[in-house]
Amino acid sequence: MEGKEDEYSLDGTKILVVEDKLLNQELAKELLESQGSEVFIANNGQEALDILLKQNKTVDCVLMDVQMPVMDGYTATDHLRKSEKMRDIPIIAMTANAMRDDRKKALSVGMNDHIAKPFGAVELYKLINIWIRKSTSSTIENDVIEDNIDKLPKVKGICTEQGMKVCNQNINLYRKVLKAYFISHKDFESQYLASSDYEETIRLTHSLKGTSANVGAVEISTLSAGLEAAFKNGESREVLSNCFESLLKSLNTTLSSLAEYLEQSSIESN
């Protein structure tokens, strides 16, 4: 099963997760805590600065999202590296992009490495261990067993296999992530249409791309990437409108199916 090939302990480590999306916060927190980490959360780069510099919180590693409101991850890292106490603390960039330029930009501001969303749990554990120079191995706990395969969510537009891989085959965590995904994006259409700010619109689209990849909503993630690229490339309103309509159709289909699944799950648990 996934997670059995390379097993890395994070027992006793303290990790700051800098991420603005609740879904990604919850996913990272549970994955890291399951391996023994003490996890702190910052909602943006400014909060990370406050926690690390003003509150003098000591951590072994920082997982830094790069696109956030208030202060992005690149700016926050640049500020952190100017502090003597933060010059050698590993900072790992988290982004929905896997392009060489993204890695290059992350390294240029002082980040140690880069991991692209969606990432597998073991991939994350291994990368953190590399940078905090830990070598102790332990068994990664998995809540899912073969008899539970029929209990996996069946939602239109979602590849359960990919979502479970991201959640380290933990079916209970995957269900929580799916619920958080629904809550986070059920109002995407109204938020998108109400936004008059270029950067905010891109941030909404970028966020949907990343979280969709995490839960296994491959088509939505791909269509979100297309809309984001259309904005950045300065495409016409017609092109943007077509991209948005295609994305919205796919998103609504999946959200409708997911709502049915969540409602049924609630009934069965009562």
pLDDT at position 172 is: 87
Residues in the chain: 270
Assess contact for 194 and 60: CB atoms under 8 A: no
pLDDT at position 270 is: 52
Nearest to 45 by CA among 2, 87, 97, 81: 81
Assess contact for 231 and 240: CB atoms under 8 A: yes
Q: Which residues contact 213 (CB under 8 A, 6 or more apart)?
A: 96, 117, 118, 162, 221
pLDDT at position 65 is: 94
**Amino acid letter, residue 205:** T
Joined tokens for residue 183: 């809550």
pLDDT tens digits, 89-115 = 999 999 876 666 777 888 899 999 999
Q: Which residues contact 62 (CB under 8 A, 6 or more apart)?
A: 15, 16, 18, 48, 52, 80, 89, 90, 91, 92
Was domain 146-269 assigned CATH 1.20.120?
A: yes
Domain boundaries, given as residue ranges, for the chain: 14-132, 146-269
Joined tokens for residue 182: 């629904």
pLDDT tens digits, 231-257 = 999 999 999 999 999 999 999 999 999
For 14-132, CATH gives: 3.40.50.2300
pLDDT at position 104 is: 82
Task: Give every residue of the chain whose pLDDT is below 70, as ranges.
Answer: 1-7, 97-100, 134-151, 267-270
pTM for this entry: 0.73
User: Residue 270 and residue 104: Cα distance in Å, rounded?
Assistant: 50
Strands (E), the chain: 14-18, 38-42, 61-65, 91-95, 113-116
pLDDT at position 98 is: 60
Secondary structure class of 213 (helix, strand, coil): helix
